[in-house]
Amino acid sequence: MVVQLYANTLSGSTVIRALKAIKADRSVKSDKDSTNATMHECTNNTVTRKTSGDPDLAIPTLRGLDLESGTIRDNILYGKPMYKTIYEKAIKACALAKDIDSFNHGYLTEIGQRGLNMSGGQKQSIQLARAAYNDADIYLLDDPFSAVDAHTAVILFNDYVMAALENKTIILATYQVEFLAEADKILVMEDGQITQSGSYEELLTAGTAFEHLVNAHKNSMTILDP
């Protein structure tokens, strides 16, 4: 897993946007060169595309994205056949089971136009469940915990990122430092530029911005939980 850490609010999703642009460019070329290329769209931003010789790519993100009218199940399957075991695993990994059980019609609950009757956290979890159900090879997760509380973020990281996507290639863009120790490689971005890269241990001993970010987080947690 590669983590893109935003050191400030100006960095944005630079790496994610760049990878999406590269993917789009390669996809256009593949469409021209191969009649076997197919497109699988989950939503405007949660997309998997398969071209000859290329891996599937899933990009679940809440930014600028609306769920479609239909049921929760429709939005997760997004036209794919229903496989109960895979579906239930995706629901569990995204901490959706409790929410679905609380609805009168369960997973057949209508989301409504633009998902207006869903909370931000529920929308985000549905999008993550859709990406998991698609079973892509590469996952670009752009700030996937932004709409959930800290407790749910930990559950999503452990059950979704570390367990459900265990055998996948993951690029995670985030402002949160508490999950960085699990990353294989970390890219630190400041003002839209990659300023540091390396493992958690390497960056922590470098005496640079990354160390200050991690220490600041540890200090804030100590203050909150003396």
Per-residue tens of pLDDT for the chain, all 226 residues: 766 665 554 444 555 555 555 555 555 444 444 333 333 333 334 444 444 455 666 655 444 356 788 899 999 998 899 999 999 999 999 999 999 999 989 999 998 777 778 888 888 899 899 999 988 888 888 888 888 888 899 999 999 999 999 999 888 888 788 888 888 988 888 777 788 888 888 888 766 777 777 777 676 655 545 5
Please name the CATH architecture into which domain 2-224 falls.
3-Layer(aba) Sandwich (3.40)
Nearest CA among 71, 78, 77 for reference residue 110? 71
Domain ranges of the chain: 2-224
Q: Is 16 helix (H, G, I), strand (E, B) or coil?
A: helix
Residue for token pair 């935003």: 6
What pTM does this model have?
0.74
pLDDT given for residue 62 in this prediction: 47
pLDDT of residue 57: 62
List b or e across 33-69, with b for residues whose CB sees 16 or more CB atoms inside 10 angstroms: eeeebeeeebbebbbbbbbeebebbbbbbbeebebee
Pairing mode of beta strands 193-198, 185-190: antiparallel
Q: How many angstroms separate the CA atoms of 211 and 222, rounded?
A: 16
Specify the pLDDT at position 196.
Answer: 84
